[in-house]
Amino acid sequence: MTKKYKFLFVKFIAALFILNGCSNSTKFASENRDPFEKTNRNVFQFNKYVDQKIMSPISKTYVKKVPAKIRTSVSNHLQWMDTPSTIINSALQTDMENTILASAKFLLNGLTLGFYDLDKGETVIKKRDFGSTLARLNVSEGPFLMVPLIGPKTTRDLTGTILDRQNMATLSSNSIDDLSLAEVPINIIDKRSKMSKTLDNIYLSADPYVKVRSFYLQNRRNEIYSEKYIENKNNNLDAEFEKLLD
Amino acid sequence: MIFNVNITKSLSDNLKMGESTIQQMILEAQEHAIDTIKLEPNERSLKIELLIKKYINLDFMSKATTGSFWKKASEIQKEKYKAALLKQIVITIEDHFNTLATLSYKPIKSERRGKKLIYVRGLIEDPNKKKPDINLLWKLAANKNGSFLILDLEIEGISLVSSQKAEAVSILRKNRGNFDILLNKMTRDN
């Protein structure tokens, strides 16, 4: 990375942290709090257009033309390429069990470059990224953002995604860098093909933007926060439900 | 002492009733999935709608998803909203119906929550292990007749009621509680 790009990168991360600071001090805000809603909605419209005009037809052709076995191998390989990030972040989060399991699985499946899952899904590893590490360090979630071509993120998760990419680029060799560059579009097509029905249903809803925001935040919070958060959330919902049942 | 034994018995009875409601519904859904494959899409949707209506508390879901705006809606608007909400639930579930016939449901745990609620946790598994397991959480409560109805379903931690509420309340807030605008948006593409 050249000096100029390094400087720009540091500035960008600093800006994201400042945006985070603009949010309230609690770890996560209400789902309806969306200070950048207007801009987010415009970006959502752009993403939706790209998705419907480009990504959806490509992923439909991918599902139609590529045999299921090959698609599974591609998915396995993409997951395998993501495992180093899980190993590093599990270690940073002092989740030693996940670090060891992810390392073992990475080494084992490395024999086939991750194209074949040699332990046949027996070892369940929790996906960990830098966003979840930042959450563990009590960095607040920050405002919700709709990122062009990437989709929904919070400022903390966007910072995490950039740092994850940066980490991998620093750790890996140039040839792996080139490989991962080719994998970005394949990853998007693979993910799109798996979410096809969900996305089509979302587009049919009364307010697709709010639905995406709600799905993303609920899913991400469940992934990141411990059982204590889920219990707390359920207690609040229970109280609300009981009141309505009276 | 006798009082305590009775309470424990009634709790376990309620849990069993909640669990068997879900088991029965899954069984019927799997039968429906096979029986309705050859039907016309509209006929199929109608059959699924009848099945869902039997097991969910639509009145509760409508109130829970519109918050304080529910009280301001007219009776006609309330009925229209219930119909639109049911339609949305059918659309969400319909696409997964074919896959349901090939997957198996495994109950995990049920628990009593507060005074009225029951949580039933389960897992949808692919016997061939080609698809990842899906965690489900059903929230139920007894109605006036004593039978248990579903209030909410969480799929992998994503609540159906919470996401529908976020959407409905956002539209209502922006339109000063105008239910007709919400209804137009909900029925626009269906």
Tokens of A13: 């991360």
Q: Which residue has the higher pLDDT, B36 or A210?
A: A210
Mean pLDDT of B184-189: 82
Interatomic CA distance for residues A214 and A77, integer angstroms? 30
pLDDT tens-digit readout, B28-66: 887 877 777 677 777 877 888 888 889 999 999 999 999
Contacts of B60 in chain A (CB under 8 A): 241, 244-245
Mean pLDDT of A52-72: 89
Contacts of B188 in chain A (CB under 8 A): 206
Q: Which residue has the higher pLDDT, A42 or A125?
A: A42
| The pLDDT value given to residue A14 | 60
Interatomic CA distance for residues A124 and A102, integer angstroms? 9
Contacts of A33 in chain B (CB under 8 A): none
Tokens of B147: 């039978």
Mean pLDDT of B157-161: 91
Mean pLDDT of A13-20: 59
| The pLDDT value given to residue A155 | 93
Q: Which residue has the tokens 């006929």?
A: B43
Burial call B58-67: b when 16+ CB within 10 Å, e when fewer: bebbbbbbbe
pLDDT tens-digit readout, A78-115: 889 889 999 999 999 999 999 999 999 999 999 998 89
Task: pLDDT band for A24, please (50, 70, 90 cuts).
Answer: very low
Tokens of A109: 């499946």
The amino acid at B156: E
Interatomic CA distance for residues A183 and B33, integer angstroms? 37
| The pLDDT value given to residue A15 | 58
Q: What percentage of chain A has pLDDT greater than the value 70?
A: 80
Mind telling me how many Å the CA of B44 is from chain A's nearest CA?
A: 18
Strands A151-154 and B117-125: what pairing? unpaired
- Whether A96 contacts A138, CB under 8 Å: no
Classify B168 as helix, strand or coil.
Answer: helix
- Whether B29 contacts B153, CB under 8 Å: no
Q: Is the pLDDT confidence value at B14 over 50?
A: yes
Residues 132-191 of A with CB under 8 A from B: none
Interatomic CA distance for residues A42 and A49, integer angstroms? 11
How many residues comprise chain B? 190
Q: Which residue has the higher pLDDT, A25 or B80?
A: B80
Q: Is the pLDDT confidence value at B67 over 70?
A: yes
The DSSP call for residue A172 is S
Residues facing B137 on adjacent strands: B121, B154
Interatomic CA distance for residues B65 and B67, integer angstroms? 6
- Of all residues in chain B, the one with the smallest CA distance to A209 is B167
Residue B144 φ/ψ, nearest 5 degrees: -60, -30
Interatomic CA distance for residues A244 and B64, integer angstroms? 7
Interatomic CA distance for residues B163 and B85, integer angstroms? 12
Strands B134-142 and B104-113: what pairing? unpaired
Q: What was the ipTM of the complex prediction?
A: 0.84
Q: A interface mutation test: which of B62, B137, B158 has the most A CBs within 10 A?
A: B158
Residue A161: its H or E element: helix A155-171
